[in-house]
Amino acid sequence: MNPVDIFEGSSPVILAQPHGGTFLPTELSEHYNELGREMADTDWHIHRLYDGLLADASVVEATFSRYLIDANRDPSGSSLYPGQNTTELCPTVDFEGRSIYQKRGLHGTEPDAEEIEIRRKNYHAVYHSALAEQIERVRKIHGTVLLFDCHSIRSRLPFLFEGELPDFNLGTYNTSTCAPEIEAAALEICAEADGYSSVLNGRFKGGWTTRHYGNPEKGIHVIQLELAQQTYMDESAPWLYHEEKAEKLRVHLKKLLSCLEQTITSLT
């Protein structure tokens, strides 16, 4: 199983999709409990949601489950949100704070340091090697590149945040990972989307991908969008995709990506 699927496009925009995969190696799947095997925290249908919105955009898509290793976490294991509840590089709990591993004896079946390192090399590093390669390829063509990090999450998760999450959650790590023009354009499009709520650098300011790659001075601009899943799907198993809701949302996502493509092109 290839840890990453890649589509090489000619646009200055790259779509990163680190959390849409559901692959777990057979030899490890028995270590997970029923909650773990359900993989509730997957960014369900994220590839389908963005498919075809920007025809020439490159796509880098992780095929493995975030429960195996989270491709949007610091590989050192450092927390992205110190002092707040979050999940680890190799998660041991879900977004509701519940264990996702079997309990056997005193220690359970959670990965130890050696296993985490194996997963890092075989999955996390492979995904980011592919992503870095595409960033450099696109930057050589256009002189600049916009990495758009695609995410979605359930709208109510008290373990992670209070109340209900806005529909569009833009993250630029406190306005540091992209040019002001890109941030302003994204915020304007999201704010104008009728029937949807939006926020900039709220609970989700951008994960490790956004923070690691964002370097506007070198022509690498990164922005993350965390969508509330209720905008296009059921937020409970079996996580059904809703065509009508999704198509309404895709109109705004297409407008957003097209606008950002024009904006990044104007910066070259």
> Tell me: the pLDDT tens digits for 6-47?
999 999 999 999 999 999 999 999 999 999 999 999 999 999
H-helix or E-strand containing 213? helix 208-213
pLDDT of residue 103: 84
Which DSSP string do the residues of 80-106 spell out, in sequence order?
SSTTS----SS-SB-TTS-B-B---TT
Q: Which residues contact 122 (CB under 8 A, 6 or more apart)?
A: 3
Q: Which residues contact 163 (CB under 8 A, 6 or more apart)?
A: 156
Quick check: 119 and 75 in contact, CB under 8 A?
no
pLDDT of residue 105: 53
H-helix or E-strand containing 265? helix 243-266
Phi, psi of 61 (to 5 degrees): -120, 120
pLDDT of residue 106: 47
Quick check: 145 and 268 in contact, CB under 8 A?
no
Sketch the domain layout of the chain as residue ranges: 4-266
pLDDT of residue 79: 76
Q: What is the CA radius of gyration of the chain?
A: 18
Rounded Cα–Cα distance for residues 2 and 126 (Å): 9
Give the predicted TM-score (pTM) of the model: 0.96
For the chain, which ranges sit under pLDDT 50? 106
pLDDT of residue 107: 57
Fold of 4-266: Aminopeptidase (3.40.630)
The DSSP code for 230 is: G
Number of H helices, E strands in the chain: 8, 7
Q: Which residues contact 239 (CB under 8 A, 6 or more apart)?
A: 42, 44, 45, 233
Rounded Cα–Cα distance for residues 80 and 98 (Å): 20
pLDDT of residue 221: 98
pLDDT of residue 115: 95
Q: Which residues contact 178 (CB under 8 A, 6 or more apart)?
A: 146, 172, 214, 216, 221, 222, 223
Quick check: 43 and 240 in contact, CB under 8 A?
no
Alpha carbons within 13 angstroms on the beta-carbon side of residue 27 total 3
The DSSP code for 225 is: E
The model's pLDDT over 184-204, given as tens digits with 9 standing for 90+, comes to 999 999 999 999 999 999 999
Rounded Cα–Cα distance for residues 182 and 176 (Å): 11
Instruction: Kindly state the tokens that stand for 28.
Output: 């490890």
Strands 13-17 vs 58-62: parallel, antiparallel or unpaired: parallel
